[in-house]
Chains A and B, each alone.
Chain A
Amino acid sequence: GAGVSQSPSNKVTEKGKDVELRCDPISGHTALYWYRQSLGQGLEFLIYFQGNSAPDKSGLPSDRFSAERTGGSVSTLTIQRTQQEDSAVYLCASSLSGAHNEQFFGPGTRLTVL
């Protein structure tokens, strides 16, 4: 079966513009995570969705970042008014419910803010 897919694979934008990053999780996975991988900060947790529960947004770095998950499947991470420090690879992962289940990662979206 298909793994986690993310689009676009690369995104170049100008400072101040808004961007949307998409994640398609593995079918049947109720948990979905967004992480960010950057040179300065390493791999950081951003946000977590589990079924119909309220998302855990504790890792979002600022209110310019938001995410939604429609129909319990596809998720979109939106960054408003992008800044150069937002440049990073944004990784999405999904898993079955339960903390012991493996998170399967997508290939990531490389965001470059000029």
Chain B
Amino acid sequence: AQSVTQPDIHITVSEGASLELRCNYSYGATPYLFWYVQSPGQGLQLLLKYFSGDTLVQGIKGFEAEFKRSQSSFNLRKPSVHWSDAAEYFCAVGALQGAAGNKLTFGGGTRVLVKP
């Protein structure tokens, strides 16, 4: 069965500093990988996704993630954090490639606090 681990429950970062959120997955084949963000009182919004090809993926809001098959990782990064980036971030792995749908397995989430 697939699984996702986000080792950091909370991260505090200063505004303007860089941010890296860790994600490790377990999946038997080449995974579909996603990062979602959930702001307080908001639904989940997709930041970026990886299916194949270039292992460095660019997303919205200045985020990027790198797929490393050898490490089973898909870490999310942002060079300079803004106060509006304070939120909870979820890494997810999708089910079967080529399927009509894609039920997601989520990690436990990382809550990011931004200090002024």
Contact = CB atoms under 8 A, between A and B. Distances in A.
Interface of A: 4, 31, 33, 35, 42-45, 48, 50-51, 53, 56, 58-59, 91, 93, 95, 97-108
A33 B102 CA distance: 9
B100 A99 contact: yes
Contacts of A108: 43
Interface string B26-65: 0000001000100000111110010100000000000000
A97 B106 contact: no
Contacts of A97: 100-101
Contacts of B80: none
Which 5 pairs show the lowest CB-CB distances between chains A and B? A43-B106, A99-B102, A105-B44, A105-B43, A45-B103
Contacts of A31: 100-102
28 contacts: A31-B100, A33-B101, A42-B106, A43-B109, A44-B106, A45-B103, A48-B101, A48-B103, A50-B101, A58-B103, A59-B103, A91-B44, A95-B101, A95-B102, A97-B101, A98-B100, A99-B94, A99-B99, A99-B101, A99-B102, A100-B51, A103-B46, A103-B102, A105-B43, A105-B44, A105-B45, A107-B42, A108-B43
B104 interface: yes
Given A99-B96, A102-B49, A56 B44 contact: no
B95 A99 contact: yes
A107 B95 contact: no
Contacts, number: 69
Contact of A91 (B43, B46, B51, B105): B43
A30 to B, nearest CB: 8
